[in-house]
Amino acid sequence: MDDALDHLALLSRFQDTFLAGLAGADPGAPVPACGGWRVRDLAQHLGYVHHWAAAQARREEDSPVDPAPSDLPAFYAQHAAELRATLGGLDPDSRAWTLIEPDDPASTVRFWHRRQVHETLVHLHDLRAATGSTVDDVAPEVWADTVDELVTVVAPRQVRLGRAEPISLPVALRATDAGRSWVLGDGSPAATASAPARELALLLWGRLEPAEAGVVVDGDAGALSAALGGRITP
């Protein structure tokens, strides 16, 4: 994790940007790379996830939300504000229910600062894609943190929960504009995939194909394809 990032400030920024984009979006517009989702599904999902994450941070069961809100921006704004108020009001180092093991020292409120930044950022990309634009004003260091979270938290959790098999051919990932690198999987990498941090993050989250992301692969190109096809995300 990049400790230099102010995750709460980033969360507020990305939520505000998502809300502004949602206000002008067609609720029925399809969301690329998200199956049959429409913008309304995207907004309801992210609003609910904010609500659920706030409850997890408080170590409480979440309450039901409106399953079919008539005012999507108001629905999203309500739950975005709930999450910000919850995270801002709790000691970041206090224990929380998280997506990692309960006895892990990192299973704290601070976990949700970071997790919800990247949840919101990836879905901001989805909203922009649905409206024909892109997210091009986020620093490479933030996108690199998105990659880091996936490699160190999200993908290992998929294996731990039995949703994915361990990656048999590890892949080194190199963010060409952020000076950072990782290995997806355990062991010596069979290939190295290089691209800007934004493109690597969107590739790993299934929003871009390798060719779209401009990924340069050195070594076994099949290793990257196999890793991406292995359910490394929920």
| Measured CA distances, 147 to 17, 63, 169, 192, 232 (Å) | 21, 31, 18, 15, 12
- Spatial separation of the C-alpha atoms in residues 112 and 90, rounded to whole Å: 11
Q: 160, 129 in Cβ contact below 8 A?
A: no
Same domain? For 54 and 82 the reply is yes
pLDDT class of 97 with cuts at 50, 70, 90? very high
Q: How many CB atoms sit inside 10 A of residue 137's CB? A: 7
Asked whether residue 1 carries a pLDDT value surpassing 90, the answer given is no
Q: Which domain holds residue 214?
A: 143-228
**Residue 79: inside a domain:** yes
Span 132-171, pLDDT tens digits: 999 999 999 999 999 999 999 999 999 999 999 999 999 9
Here the tokens at position 115 are 């997790």
Kind and range of the H or E run holding 48? helix 39-58
* Separation of CA 117 from chain center: 7
How many domains are contained in the chain? 2
The enclosing domain of 34 has a CATH number of: 1.20.120.450
Residue 192 pairs in a beta bridge with 172, 218
